[in-house]
Structure formats: C-alpha cells, structure tokens
Amino acid sequence: MDYLLEALGIGISFPGVRALGRVDFRLRRGEIHALMGQNGAGKSTLLKILSGVYRPYEGRVLLRGQETRASSPTEAQRAGISTVHQELNLIPTLSVAENLFLGIQPLRAMRQIDWKKIHKEAEKVLSRLNLKIDVSEQLNSYSVAVQQLVAIARALLFSADVLILDEPTSSLDKEEVSNLFSVMRGLKADGLGIVFVTHFLDQMYEISDRATVLRNGELVGEFEVAKLSRIDLITAMVGEEVSARRAEEKFERRRVAASEPTPLLEVREATRFGAVAPFDLSFNRGEVLGFAGLLGSGRSEAARLIFGVDGLDRGEVRMDGHVIKLSSPHDAIAAGMGFCPEDRKTEGIIGALSVRENIILALQANRGIFNRLSRAEQENIAERFISSLSIKTPNGEQAVRNLSGGNQQKVIIARWLASNLRLLILDEPTRGIDVAAKTEIQKLILTLADEGLAVLFISSELDEVTRCCQRVAVWRDRRKIGELSGDDARVENIMETIARGREESGGENI
Amino acid sequence: MKLKARHIPILATMLVFILLYAAASFYFPYFFTLRVFVNLFIDNAFLGVVAVGMTFAVLSGGIDLSVGSVVACTGIVMSKLITQYGFNSLAVIAFVLLLGTAFGSVMGFFIACYDLPPFIVTLAGMFFARGASQIISLESIPLKSPLLNRVADFGIPLSDRVDFPFIAIVLVAAVAVGTFIAQCTKFGRNVYAIGGSEQSALMMGLPVRRTKIGIYALSGFFATLGGVIYTLYTFSGYSLSGIGLELDAIASVVIGGTLLSGGVGYLPGTLLGVLIQGVIQTFISFDGTLNSWWTKIIIGALLFVFILLQTWISKARAFRKS
Amino acid sequence: MKKFALNIIRSPYFWSLVFLAALFAFNLAFTERFGVVEVKDGRLYGNIIDILRRSVPTMLLGTGMTLVIATGGIDLSVGAIIAVAGAIAALLARGNFHFMIIVLPPLLAAAVAGCWNGFLVAKAGIQPFVATLILMVSGRGVAQLLCGGQIIKFSHPAFEYLSAGYVFGLPFGLYLSAGVLLSVWLLTRRTALGLFIESVGINPVASRHVGISASRIKLLVYVFSGICAGMAGLVLTTEIRGADANNVGLNLELDAVLATVLGGTSMTGGKFYLAGSVVGALIIQTLTTTILARGVARPATLVVKAFVVILISLIQSPSFRAQVLRMGKAGEARA
C-alpha cells in the first residue's frame, strides 16, 4: 500500500518531558484521517513535527515515499503539507483575495501586483470550496467559518497534498460544520489526504475514514472508524487500566457533605448563546462536584459563567439563596468563589511576579488597595502555603514563571485558599503535571472539602473525577446531559453516558 | 464600486476637507481661487513628502520620530556642501538621499533584529540627526545654487498667472509613488500584513525582518526628500527647522484615515490630512484676528473625532459579527 | 547588606547605574572642579548640585511616566500639560494671589487633563499612544490661547520659591521631587497599588480573574502622570519667571520615556523601578552637564545621548543578549 504521508517512529523530548515516543502515523491519498486523544496526548506535538515547527525529532517523515525534512512551516507548505491552525494565521484587516495570495502574488510588468488576476483566481479557488463571497471585502467582516474556508483555500493554492485541520469546528455552528464537511469530502474526492483533529466524537464519526489515537505521548492504535465502537474509542483515549481497576478505589471521605435546606450555590437556567445551553446546578458545603466530558463539551464554558468571566445571557446564580450580580470575576470573588483556569499561563499566573505576590494577589485584591498586607504577613502566608502544599521553589521570591506546571498550579490554588474562599472551581488542575504531583493535588482537594469547602472539579481524566467526586455532572456538546452520584459515578457509566449522549438532541452543536 | 466600511475614514477625511474649504471660501471668496489652492500644495509640500514615509511606518504598526531632525539635517548638509564647498547640486541631492535612506535602514535594523521598540530607536535617531546638524552648523546657511534656482522656478503653467511649481510636483509624485508602492508591490502589501498581525505574517512565511528594515529605510528616504524640498522652499539650511514636524506628520496620517495600530489606511488619505491642516492654517492667516494656536487646538479636536470614528467602526464590526 | 548589593546587581537598571557611576568617575577624574561643592551664603553650589537641580522636572515626569508605562501605556501629553499648567500659574502669579491660589488651579487642570487621557485609554479603549497624542497636539495650543501668544512674565517671590528657594543649603526643587518620589513609593509599595499596577501590566486577563479592575488602575496612573506634569510645569515656569507656552517642556515627554526605559521598566509594561527612573533622569542630565563642562559644543550632547540610548536598550534587549551569548559560545568552541 502506498501512503501519501508516513511518519515512522516519531519521538521528541523537551527539557524533562518525553512529549512523544515512537509514534507511527500513516495517511492515504483521498482519506480523512482523525487524530484523537485527550489533552496532553501528543496530538499537537505530532502536528507541529509534521508541519515543520519542531526540529530535530527522532524517526522519519515520508511524503509521497520521499523523506522530507522541512525546517519551517513555510518549507513544509512548499513541500505540500499545509496546516490550518485553530487560531487562523491570516491578516484580519486585509481583503479575502489578498489573504489568499499574500507572498505569492502574481505580478505584471514592473513587478506590479496583478490585482485583477488575484481577484479572479481568488473567486475560482473559493468556488472550489462552494464559497461565493465578495473577495474584495475585508476578511474580518466575515464569520469565523468563512475565514476558516479562506485559510483552507490558501493551503490549496500551495498545491497541498496533505491538509492538516487542527480543531476546525470548535467555533462553528451546526450548519457551518456540515458545510465544512462537504468541502472536506470534495477535497478528499480530489485525492487530498486530510488530517482532522477534533474533540467532537460525532463529527469524527461523521467524516473520518480512519483514526489514530494517542495517549500520553504514545500510540494506542490505528482504527477503521466504521469498525470502531464509541466505547472502544473512549476507552482508547482515556485508558483501559483506569476504567477497570483504579476507578473503583475511591478516596475515603472523612465527612460526608451535609445536605442543607439552602444549597451554597444554585445555578438556574444559566445560558450563554453559542457557548453553553441552559443548565441547572446545586451545590453544598464540603461537596466535591465533578464536571466530566471531553474537551469542548461545555464544561469549562459553564465554569466561566459561574465565575463571571463570561456574562450570562440568561438565567441566574444564587449564593446562600440570594441572587448574586456577576458582571465580572470581582463579583464572584466577593461572593467567596475562586477559579483556577484551564490555561494556567495566559489566564492564571502573573508570570513575572514572585510566588509570594501570586499567592497573596487575590486576597489583596479583595482587601483593596489601601488595606495592604505587610511584607511580614505576605511572607507568612506564602511560607505557610509553600510548605502546606509543598510547592517546590527555592523561596517565595522566585518568579512564578520559573516553576514547573504542577507547582504553578499549586500557587494558583494557594492564591484562592489564602482568600476568603467558600467555593473553589478547578478547571483541569492536574493537566500537564506529573503523576506524583497529580495525586498530591487530588488529595489536597479532598482535604479542603473535608474542611467544609465546596469544590467544582473539572477534568478530562475520568478516573480522577470518579476518585474525587461523589457527584458527577456529565457534559457533551455544550450541554449538561446528566448527573451521576454515589455508586453510579463510575468511569464506565460516565463513558456510556457520553457515548450515548442525549437521545432527544442527538448531540448537536448549538 | 460598493461603499465599504474600510472606506469610511478616508471618505470622512475627504468630506471634512471639502466642508472646510467650502466654509473658508464662504468667508473669504478669494479662498476659492486657483492660486490659494496651489499654495496649499506649495506651503505643505515638505510636510506631505515626510508624511508619505511616516504612513509606511504607521501602517506597519510602528512610528518614526526622527523625521523632523532628518529634515533639518538634510538642509544643513545640502547647503553646506553646495554653498560652502561648491559641490554639484544634483550630486549632493543624490548623496543626501542615499545618506538618509542608509540612516533609516540602520534604525530599521535595530528595530527588526533586536526587537527594540520603534519609539525608542527613532527617538535616538531624532537626537542623533538633530545633534549632527547642530554640530555641522548652528547658524542658518543660505543655499546658493543657480541650478537649483532654476529647478525651483520651474513650474507647469495652470493658467495665465498660476504655475504648479516644482516642489508641488514633487509632492504629488511622492504621493503617487508611495501609493504605488503601498498598493501594487509585494513589499507594500507585506507592510499592511505586518501591521494587521505580525504573528500571522510570520506564519504565512512573509519576510518580516527585511520588510521592517525596508519600512524605516523608506521613511528615511522620504524624510530626506522632504528635507530637500524644504531647502528648496526656504533656500537655506537651519539646524532648528522641522522641530515638532514628526507630530504634524503623525497627525496628518491619522486624520488621513490610517489606523495608528497599523494595517489599515491609504496614502492619498495622508495627502488629504496634510491639506486639511493647510486649509486651517491658511484660513487663520487670512482672518488675521484668529491666532495660530487655534490651528493646534482644531487639529487636536479633529484627531479626537477621527480616532473616535475609527474606534466606533471597529466596535461596530465586532458587534455585527457576534 | 550583602543582600542589598545582590539586589542591585540583579536589578534591570544595573547597567544604567554602572554607566552613571562611570560618568561620575570620568568627570571626577578629568573635569576640573566637578566634585567641588562650595558654600555661599549658606547655600551649596557646584556641578553635582546643578545636575540634581536640573534633573528635577525629568524626575517628576519620570515618576508618573514609570507608572503609566508599567500598565503597558505611554503618556505623550506631559509636555503639553506642562505648558498649560505653566500658563495658568503665570496668569495667576501676576495677580499677586496667595501661593496656594496660584498653585492649586494648575495642578487641578493637570489632573483633569490626566483624567481625560485615562478616560480615553481605560473606558473608551483607545490605544495609549493615540489617546495621549490628542492632548499632545492641542495642549500647547490651549496654553498659547491662555497666554494670548505672549510670554507672560511675573514676579511673585512666594511662588518663585519653588525653584529659587533653598532649604538647608539645597534647592527647594530637590525636596519637591524627593517628596513626590517618596510619596509615590509609599503609595505604590506601602499599599497594594504597585502590585496591582504590575499585575495589570504583565497579564491583564489573569488580573481580571483575581478581581483587579484594570480600568480603575489605568485611570489612576494617567491622572497621576498628569499631576506630576503639572508640578514639573510649576517648577519650570518659576525657573524663567514666566510662561513660554511654545517652548516650555518641549520634548520633555521623550526624556521622561527615556528615563523610564533606561531605568529598566519595559515599554511593554510590568515590573517598574522608580529608583531606576531616577537613575535614568540623572544619566540624561549628567551627560548634558559633562559635555558642556568638557567644553564640547552643546549639540554633541544629542549625539552622545543617541548612542547611549541605543547602547543601553541593546544591553537590555533579550535577543541581543542571546546573540552575544551565542557568539561567546562559538568563540569558546573555536578556542
């Protein structure tokens, strides 16, 4: 069998981390090949190797049987491998036509750009994607879906044989997705090989021919999609040993969450158009509630609503039975909430500030400008949390960006513990950190709950959710599709719920 | 052609120019004569040429603070070489243009290769050029060149009594060449791309570094050309001329509809921005009772209105999309 | 003590400090009477005192500019605010009013100007460079309007004390700038304001997530920068006992930005160093004084200044450091 693209024995290490080890990936002509895996499974690392961003790496990449060593995205593109990233690399302020031809403009006499030809060619290449728009209009006057197609069209101009689409559907609505899919089918019929990365299982099943699954930087297997059941796919992504063994040993809880007449937090019909379908939630002191679901299922978006990061379009949030105003995180913090966001680097830590400053920041913000904690108090608090959470840092004055991921996470948790905290929201707190630190953080969460704190725990790792939580809300396709509690909150049940989806809705995008 | 959102700023500029000119003509009928109109081009020729270069810097999301000093330095060097050393006038002009371009490229090199902020690098360039011209001569040096006299006297007759003189022709040519570079060359489009999103420009494989060096070289060239024009206008070189010119140039660019954050704008707009400032100045000198400071206040107010307009357009676009 | 020394070496304005020290050492060795401080009528005179006195306006502006730049902004309008404040003060000083009546209105006007800048940046979301450009362009026009295009001369001993007065043998201006610096230091480092400013400058998104209101912080720093400019305007106006709307404080906004950047505060915002900005202001003034004292023509100052700016920016630039490091390693490898 001749393959269009063959990546054999690919491996790469970053300082201290083995990001990818001996992974094989084969793409045929005229197929759509899904690349599946959880966060940190190594998908984006593999894509970056294929598109020439990472060098050097172990193993070989063969394109049309010839070994290729592209050292930059541009070289890879010239060789015939084009990538359309999630953050589209286009110039929003230029016209559609120009975005297609930037850097490869056809010229007339006097090295003058041939605009007429550009507009004509642009219309032609877009019509191949069933797109009929005014190509002289500025790119950012069109929807993300159109911009996506423009990015794909640009890739086609480079006579791409291999098209890599990195989560192209994450911000598209249902119609736009089906339009994109028909474009993909057309390109497939033309003989292109398409690598498709998505977190939406339904979409994977709808469009892909084969799928390669990665987990923890290693290859789990290559599957014919038609013969792959949902439960097998999820097991492949999540890991078998997890579901079978470890999930059963729940952490012992010293104290069971008290059931009280008024719950600590109550969410009613909270909605954000295009992000989260209406959902209800209620929460007690000392409870650890899990949010389970794959990436893009709406779990993080829901958390951001509760914390006031994104505004509510509809619905309300009550704390102790009173409706709270949620116009910014400040309001949520004043009500006693804390939030550890999924993207630690860009939304969590203040990189250039010290560990001490990062720890006391939320407490200080709540106290206001003039009620400053003295240096001694700050050091006290910082020392206390550095030792109680065993944050590995030479001292409190180290800039937090120099710490490892797990320790940065602990700093953010410490930040909230130091302030007047009643409800802690953790979005993927153990992502990208090593196993020992993971267990540590899980135990920490339970200890906190025993002390009366309510914790909302979001994770892609189902065994982690079931070990820590008595109650699990299951999310899929931006909807809360169910709640499992007590003995029902087991990995198999969660996987089954996700796989089955909500019968009546069929797992659509909103 | 259909009206597009990106054309609104330049249309607004045009409208402001027409309204101002009409109002001025209403007060002073003499305003509405060919001579006054041509004088707008003559009196603001150097500013217009400098602003062409500035437009490229601003389009790329940068800035060039050195232009005013470069104008002064050009005048001093030119006058000194021609009047005191007796070099050939045209050779000297070619030499200063080369020098100015090289000066701009060096600034571009620091900006592109070491990621230094354009503000700081061109500020240093401003100090350097001003200092250099003062070292060469603190006194004003007259320009004595029969050849350049003839060049400056050359003009295209528009009517019996009004000529379109050489320096105005240079202004129009500079805007035309600038527009051609911006609209019809790969370099020009790369400037827009860098201003729109430098990160994306890099990922699209565009030569970002080379383009940035080119931008400041071009700005250096036009600043020097502006200096040559200024020297032909005053027929002397003086180390203190052109102080604050960078500010007038930036104001022209912004009033001309170019976004200071980069990526959006048209060169002919810059010319309109220059002419609007010219109209205000001429009106005030016609009036006699109004004082020159009103120019600054009105230009500040115009800046405010145009910036609000731009902010409003980009917000409206974001809203329409969501 | 050892810790203190270590802190200095690690601070981002270390090289600026070294440069300033070298400049002083050079002068002490080669410039006649540089280090001499004389006492006349109970007042101290000398080159060093002169440098300190002349750098007062830049220090005042630099203090405000440092905070603005720390939030990721810039304030181009300070030169124009100086002119406006000076014009108002001069007009009032002619009227022989009480000191406070002369001083407070200009400061209030400066605060209002700062508030306008802050509003445009924090509430209207306009880029700082553009937002402050508006006042930079029109402010001087307003000042000229107030003065009627004249240089307004005045004679008001109590007001002139600002620059002519001496306390314990030192010019009053020094106490003023020291006082402002000290109060800003107290205000930013003894309250949480400094922490919040840095936090907003480094990572606005994460700052919002911990409940810091970026717009309030930004408004505050622009108002403050305006007030600093107002004070600098008062000092400069009393120095020449008149308001010269055209020329007073010309290009001082550039010096203020320069002092801040030389002082190690990055133009992209984040950690700020008030002491560094003082060092920056002193470098600018010492350079000028040195060159003049050496008998070199004044214009050379500008050229030297240009080289110093590029040199110090390069030393602080990460990509330049990396390149030097690579070249050093390549050299080692060859050897």
CB B273 within 8 A of CB B52: no
pTM here is: 0.85
When CB atoms are compared, the residue of C131, C306, C310 closest to B131 is C306
Nearest of B161, B154, B177 to residue B34 by alpha carbon: B161
> Who's near A334: CB < 8 A, 6+ residues apart?
A366, C211
Helix intervals (H) in chain B: 8-27, 34-43, 45-59, 67-79, 89-114, 118-136, 146-153, 166-184, 186-196, 198-203, 208-234, 245-255, 267-287, 293-321
Residues of C in contact with A394 (CB under 8 A): none
Render pLDDT for B72-100 as a digit per residue (tens, 0 to 9). 999 999 999 999 999 999 999 999 999 99
- CB contact under 8 Å between B254 and C135, yes or no, is no
When CB atoms are compared, the residue of A85, A91, A141 closest to B197 is A91
- CB contact under 8 Å between C206 and A346, yes or no, is yes
Residues of C in contact with A362 (CB under 8 A): 210-211
Residue of C nearest to A361 (CA): C210
B29 preceded by cis ω (within 30°)? no
More confident residue, C60 or A391: C60
- CB contact under 8 Å between C199 and A350, yes or no, is yes
Crossing angle of the two packed helices C252-262 and B118-136, in degrees rounded to 10: 120
> Who's near B65: CB < 8 A, 6+ residues apart?
B119, B122, B123, B125, B126, B246, C254
Q: Which residues pair with B290 in a beta bridge?
A: none
pLDDT at B319: 58
Nearest of A203, A260, A195 to residue A233 by alpha carbon: A203
pLDDT at A508: 40
Integer-rounded Cα Rg, in Å, for chain A is: 25
When CB atoms are compared, the residue of B113, B127, B239 closest to C305 is B127
Q: How many Cβ atoms sit within 10 Å of the Cβ of residue A141?
A: 18
Would you call B204 an interface residue with chain A, using a CB distance cutoff of 8 Å? yes
pLDDT at A391: 84
Would you call B4 an interface residue with chain A, using a CB distance cutoff of 8 Å? yes
Residues of B in contact with C125 (CB under 8 A): 311
Dmax (CA) of chain C: 76
Domain residues of chain A, as ranges? 5-228, 262-336+422-504, 347-421
Residues of B in contact with A93 (CB under 8 A): 192, 195-197, 259, 263-264
pLDDT at B268: 94
Query: pLDDT-derived band of residue B229, with 50, 70 and 90 as boundaries?
Result: very high
Would you call C202 an interface residue with chain A, using a CB distance cutoff of 8 Å? yes
> CA neighbours within 13 Å on the CB side: how many for B245?
30
When CB atoms are compared, the residue of C195, C205, C211 closest to A346 is C205
When CB atoms are compared, the residue of A328, A364, A371 closest to C208 is A328
Crossing angle of the two packed helices B89-114 and B146-153, in degrees rounded to 10: 80
pLDDT at C156: 83
Q: Number of B to C CB contacts under 8 A, please give it.
A: 139
What secondary structure, in 3-state letters, does A155-193 show?
A: HHHCCCCEEEEECCCCCCCHHHHHHHHHHHHHHHHCCCE
CA–CA gap between residue A40 and residue C60 (Å, rounded): 51
Tell me whether residue A109 is exposed, middle or buried, using C-beta atoms within 10 angstroms of its C-beta: 0 to 12, 13 to 18, 19 or more. Answer: exposed
Domain residues of chain B, as ranges? 5-321
Render pLDDT for B154-203 as a digit per residue (tens, 0 to 9). 888 888 888 899 999 999 999 999 999 999 999 999 999 999 999 899 88
Residue of A nearest to B192 (CA): A94
Chains contacting B (3 or more CB pairs within 8 Å): A, C
State mean pLDDT over C71-80: 93
Nearest of A366, A7, A34, B47 to residue C210 by alpha carbon: A366
pLDDT at C137: 86
Q: Let me know how long chain A is.
A: 510
The tens-digit pLDDT sequence of chain A (510 residues) is: 578 999 999 988 876 667 788 899 999 999 999 998 876 678 888 988 888 888 778 888 888 888 887 888 888 888 889 988 877 889 998 999 999 999 889 998 888 999 999 999 999 999 888 888 999 988 988 888 899 899 999 988 887 789 999 888 877 777 888 889 999 999 999 899 999 998 778 888 999 999 999 988 889 999 999 998 888 888 888 776 554 444 445 565 544 555 666 788 889 888 888 788 899 998 888 888 999 887 778 888 899 999 998 888 889 999 888 899 888 899 999 899 999 988 888 888 998 899 999 999 999 998 888 888 999 999 999 999 998 888 888 888 888 888 877 788 889 999 998 887 899 999 988 776 666 677 778 888 888 888 888 999 998 778 788 888 888 999 988 889 888 887 788 888 888 888 887 544 443 433
State mean pLDDT over C293-302: 76
Residue of A nearest to B4 (CA): A137
CA–CA gap between residue C206 and residue A358 (Å, rounded): 10
CA distances from C199 to A300, A401, A476, C68, C270 (A): 24, 13, 35, 13, 7
pLDDT at A246: 47
Residues of B in contact with A275 (CB under 8 A): none
C148: three-class secondary structure by DSSP: coil
- CB contact under 8 Å between A73 and B205, yes or no, is yes
Integer-rounded Cα Rg, in Å, for chain C is: 21
> CA neighbours within 13 Å on the CB side: how many for A114?
11
Q: Which residues pair with A265 in a beta bridge?
A: A283, A319
CA–CA gap between residue B215 and residue B178 (Å, rounded): 12
Would you call B193 an interface residue with chain A, using a CB distance cutoff of 8 Å? yes
Please measure the distance between the N-terminal and C-terminal CA atoms of chain B and give it in whole angstroms: 27
CB C75 within 8 A of CB C253: yes
CA–CA gap between residue A474 and residue A298 (Å, rounded): 10
CB B252 within 8 A of CB B52: no
Whether ipTM tops 0.90, in short, is no
The H or E element spanning position A220 is strand A218-224
Tokens of A66: 């010839």
User: What is the signed CA dihedral for A309, A311, A314, A320, rounded to 10 degrees?
Assistant: 50
CB B240 within 8 A of CB B139: no
CATH code of the domain occupying B5-321: 1.10.3470
CA C22 to chain centre: 22
Would you call A324 an interface residue with chain C, using a CB distance cutoff of 8 Å? no
- CB contact under 8 Å between B300 and C139, yes or no, is yes
How would you label B190-219 residue by residue, b for 16+ Cβ within 10 Å and e otherwise?
A: bbbbbbbbbebbbbbbbbbeebbbbbbbbb
Chains contacting C (3 or more CB pairs within 8 Å): A, B
Residue B1, min C-alpha distance to chain C (Å): 31
Would you call A273 an interface residue with chain C, using a CB distance cutoff of 8 Å? no
- Mode of pairing for the β-strands spanning A479-485 and A322-323: unpaired
pLDDT at A243: 45
Residues of A in contact with C192 (CB under 8 A): 364-365, 367-373
- CB contact under 8 Å between B193 and A74, yes or no, is no
pLDDT at B66: 96
- CB contact under 8 Å between A94 and B196, yes or no, is yes
Residue with tokens 């240096």: A375
Residue of B nearest to A103 (CA): B206
Would you call B313 an interface residue with chain C, using a CB distance cutoff of 8 Å? no
CA distances from B314 to A10, A146, B58, B262 (A): 45, 19, 18, 13
CA–CA gap between residue A127 and residue B322 (Å, rounded): 26
CA–CA gap between residue C59 and residue C64 (Å, rounded): 9
> Who's near B166: CB < 8 A, 6+ residues apart?
B151, B152, B153, B154, B155, B232
- CB contact under 8 Å between C302 and B120, yes or no, is no
Render pLDDT for A399-453 as a digit per residue (tens, 0 to 9). 888 887 778 888 999 999 888 789 999 998 877 666 667 777 888 888 888 888 8
Residues of C in contact with A349 (CB under 8 A): 203, 206
Tell me the torsion sign for CA atoms C168, C172, C174, C176.
positive
Would you call B295 an interface residue with chain C, using a CB distance cutoff of 8 Å? yes
> Who's near C128: CB < 8 A, 6+ residues apart?
C68, C72, C73, C74, C75, C117, C121
Residue A306, min C-alpha distance to chain C (Å): 12
Q: Where are the beta strands (DSSP E) in A273-378?
A: 276-283, 288-292, 314-319, 322-323, 337-340
Would you call A374 an interface residue with chain C, using a CB distance cutoff of 8 Å? no
Render pLDDT for B16-54 as a digit per residue (tens, 0 to 9). 899 999 999 998 988 889 999 999 999 999 999 999 999
Phi-psi category of C259—alpha, beta or left, where left has phi over 0 and alpha has psi -120 to 50? alpha
- CB contact under 8 Å between B124 and C129, yes or no, is no
- CB contact under 8 Å between A352 and C196, yes or no, is no
State mean pLDDT over B124-139: 92
Tokens of A11: 């491996």
CA–CA gap between residue C86 and residue C248 (Å, rounded): 8
pLDDT at A412: 92
Q: Which CATH superfamily is domain A5-228 in?
A: P-loop containing nucleotide triphosphate hydrolases (3.40.50.300)
Q: Which amino acid is at B225?
A: L
Residue C205, min C-alpha distance to chain A (Å): 6
**B residues 58-77 near C, CB within 8 Å?**
63, 65
Topology adopted by domain A262-336+422-504: Rossmann fold (3.40.50)
CA–CA gap between residue A248 and residue B104 (Å, rounded): 70
CA distances from C37 to C40, C46, C170 (A): 10, 5, 11
- Supply the mean pLDDT for chain B: 90
The percentage of chain B sitting over the pLDDT mark of 90, rounded to a whole number, equals 64
Question: What is the tally of helices (H) and strands (E) in chain C?
Answer: 16, 6
Q: Which amino acid is at A201?
A: L
